[in-house]
Structure 1
Amino acid sequence: MILKTPTSSDWVQKVLENFDSFLIDHAHAEKKASGMAMSMVSHYPDKPDIVKAMVDLALEEMIHFKQVMKILANKQLTLIPDEKDIYVNNLRKLFRKGTEFYLMDRLIIGGIIEARGAERFQLIANALSPGKLKQFYLQIAASEEKHYELFFELAKKYFSNDAIAQRTEFLLAEEAQIVDKLPLRALLH
């Protein structure tokens, strides 16, 4: 995992104490991830590799959304209005202007968000008792890990390894600061 700072055990405890809230936020996160992928399809129609990858990603994220919605329904929970994602919004402020810079930043930040999701879903899976929910979160964590790899594979098609490494190092340091300042809530981010 590429992250500079690990998620605290306090966050895991907060999620376990408020798991219904976490599930609702998880549903919203999957929905937003699908929307982000479709946004990239709209923004880069001239890049067939990005279009294909993001269409596949959007569909997979919607399947995850549907799976979380099924868990919510089984628990007789419904979605509530979505909260702004402080983490993602702060990362978006780091996007640079300029076509190439913007593309690089979208891909790297997309990868970082997926890496953080993989880490946190794995922590949740590890903390859950054996059963269907634990298996679900193990699968989600593995999926997020593949998404992280996908974003960096796409970046390598358009940018040099050195450029990616340099920008990733900067963005990971910024991401660590953002994570360290996040309020302790039963939300994915």
Structure 2
Amino acid sequence: MKQRIDLKVESSQEWIDTVVSDFDEFLKDHANCERKASAMAMSFVAKYPNRVEIIPELINTAVEELEHFRSVYAIMEERGIELTHEIGQDIYVKQLLDKCRDGREERFMDRLLLASLVETRGAERFRMVYEAMDDPELRRFYQELWASEAKHGEVFVRMALNYFEEKAVYKRLEEMTDYEAVVLQSLPLKPALH
């Protein structure tokens, strides 16, 4: 049973060039994304406390994302970069959320698959950052993140398969992956993860 997502489009060279040209700004956004990812995993626990099969893995994911935040913050401190006061809205995630269906079960499935898509896209982009970095410490860090985020992409698909038929999960995942490609291509270039 396949649990890995095949993204429909690759991130562009222009995106990674934009990130490298203003890496300090990228780090601020990256820190915010890690905070939001940790909160998102815990929000599943809060909204779906009866889904006991996935709660331990959600907690582990939340802790791991918080550890990523701590690591990004340490890099920022070394570079004299302050955290942003406000966490702005992520247009990429918002557009994907807008595509989630109504209805408790449908929304639950869609939110899990959305999380999988976001993590998979993050893994792809962290790989690109890793490949673009000259600094050995940053290369090592982003290589580790790339592996971790790829694993998270699979985790959320596996969670969905606990509760929904395989055929329904993969049909919906295909639809959401198609839409994610459209959203990604519509985003303005900026030194941000999304």
Taking the aligned partners of 2:97 and 2:57, their CA distance within structure 1 comes to 21
Q: 2:102 maps to which residue?
A: 97
Structure 2 counterpart of 1:71, one-letter code:
I
Equivalent of 1:132 in 103, 115, 137: 137
Structure 2 counterpart of 1:74, one-letter code:
E
Q: 2:80 maps to which residue?
A: 76
Q: 1:110 maps to which residue?
A: 115
Task: Answer yes or no: is 1:159 the counterpart of 2:159.
Answer: no
Displacement of 1:82:
2.3
Taking the aligned partners of 2:153 and 2:53, their CA distance within structure 1 comes to 16
Q: 1:44 maps to which residue?
A: 48
Taking the aligned partners of 1:83 and 1:127, their CA distance within structure 2 comes to 26
Taking the aligned partners of 1:95 and 1:187, their CA distance within structure 2 comes to 23
SS at match of 2:191: coil
TM-score normalised over the length of structure 2: 0.95
Task: Answer yes or no: is 1:9 the counterpart of 2:19.
Answer: no
Q: 1:173 maps to which residue?
A: 178
The list of structure 1 runs, each at least 4 consecutive aligned residues, that deviate by more than 3 angstroms after superposition, is: none
Taking the aligned partners of 1:141 and 1:61, their CA distance within structure 2 comes to 12
SS at match of 2:54: helix
Displacement of 1:100:
1.2
Task: Answer yes or no: is 1:146 the counterpart of 2:146.
Answer: no
Identity of aligned residues (%): 40
Structure 2 counterpart of 1:39, one-letter code:
S
Taking the aligned partners of 1:90 and 1:130, their CA distance within structure 2 comes to 34
Q: How does 1:18-57 map to 2 (within 5 A)?
A: 18-57=22-61
Structure 1 counterpart of 2:100, one-letter code:
F
Note the alpha carbon deviations across 1:24-60, whole angstroms, 9 max, x for none: 1000000000010110000111111221111111100
- Runs of at least 5 residues in structure 2 that lack an aligned partner in the other structure: none
Contact 1:30-1:65 within 8 A present in 2 as well: yes
